[in-house]
Structure 1
Amino acid sequence: MEFVIKSAEEFSDEDIKIFKKIVVDANEVLEETFDGLIEKNPLLLFLPNSENPKAIGALKVPGDRYREKVFRKSQTSLNPTDFKYEIGWIVSLKEDEGLGQEVIKVLSNYKSEIYATARVENKAMNHILEKFGFIKTGNPYDSERGNYKINLYIKQNRPDS
C-alpha cells in the first residue's frame, strides 16, 4: 500500500493543516496543543498521500516530563529516555478497511525504540499493537482524560529494512 512519511517540517503548511483537522476532528489532540506538538517535528504518515488521505498517523516526539510520567504511572522498570518516539494520532477515515492496522504496521517498523499507549478496553488496538511486535509493560494506569485505564506498550527491536 502506498504511503507518504516524513518529518513535519518537510510537509507543506497545507498538508499540516489537513493533518491537524483530521486529528482534532477525531479528538486525538486538542486544537490548542497541536501547534506546540507539531513544532517538535514528529514523523507524519499519510496513507496513501496528503492530497487524498484515507488514514494518518505519527511518530510523535513526546516531551521528557510527559514521557517520564507515562512510564512512572505504568510502574514499568524500563527507562523512558530509551524511547524517543510515541506512536499515535492514528485515524482511519475509511472504516473496516484495515487502514489503521496498516498505519501501525508502517510506523512500528519505521523507527526503533518506540512506545504506544492504548485504553485497556480497546481490545482491537491492544491486539494490533501486539501483532506488530509491541510488548505490554508495567501495569494499567488511570487516564487523566477520562474514567478509563491505559496500557503501555514498547517496541525496541531494530526497524525492518
Structure 2
Amino acid sequence: MALVVFLRGVNVGGHKTFRPSVLARDLSDYDVVNVGAAGTFVVRKPGSRVRLRTALLRRLPFKAEVVLCDGRDLMRLETENPFGSEAPPSDVVRFVSILSKTAAVRAPLPVTFPPHGEWLVRVIAVEGQFVFGMYRRHMKTIGYLGQIDELCGVAATTRNWNTINAILRILKGQVSKGR
C-alpha cells in the first residue's frame, strides 16, 4: 500500500520554500505524486520507510519534519468521515492534523481555541494519528492551529479536508489500477 508524506511547516509565509513538483520528479523511483504546494505527497512505491525518508530529506534544501502515514489509514477516513454530510458555513474550513505519532488527548472534546468567545479553531475528534476539526478564516487562526501540538503532546501538521479528498482520489486510482 502507498504511503502519504506530509512535510511540516514548508512553503508557508516565504519560509522553507521549495518546488514540490520538482521533488516528486526527483523521487520518481518511488512513484511519487505531488498534492498541492504544502509538501504533501502520495508515494505509490515506498519500499523501506527509512530509505524513503532519507531520500526525501537529502533532496530538500533545508531541514524538515516529515510525517508519514499509511494510505489505507487515510482510506478509512472517507467512510468514518467525522464531519458528516452537511456543508460547513462559508467562513469555516474542515481540517485534519496528522500527528507524528499516535497520541491521547486528555481534554474532553470538542476543544476550542481561543477557549472563550468566538472560536477560531475547534477540534472535534482524535482517532489514532488524526485530529479532526474546523477553523475560521482569520489572521490569528494559524497560531491557534499550532496549539494542536500542545493539546496532543506531539508534533502535528495540518491539511484541509479538500487536500485529504485529493489524496483519497489518488489512492483510489492506485487501488483500481492494482498497484
Q: Above 0.5 in TM-score?
A: no
TM normalised by structure 2 equals 0.29
Identify the structure with bigger relative contact order (alpha carbons < 8 Å, sequence gap 6+).
2
Which has the larger share of helix? Answer: 1
TM normalised by structure 1 equals 0.31
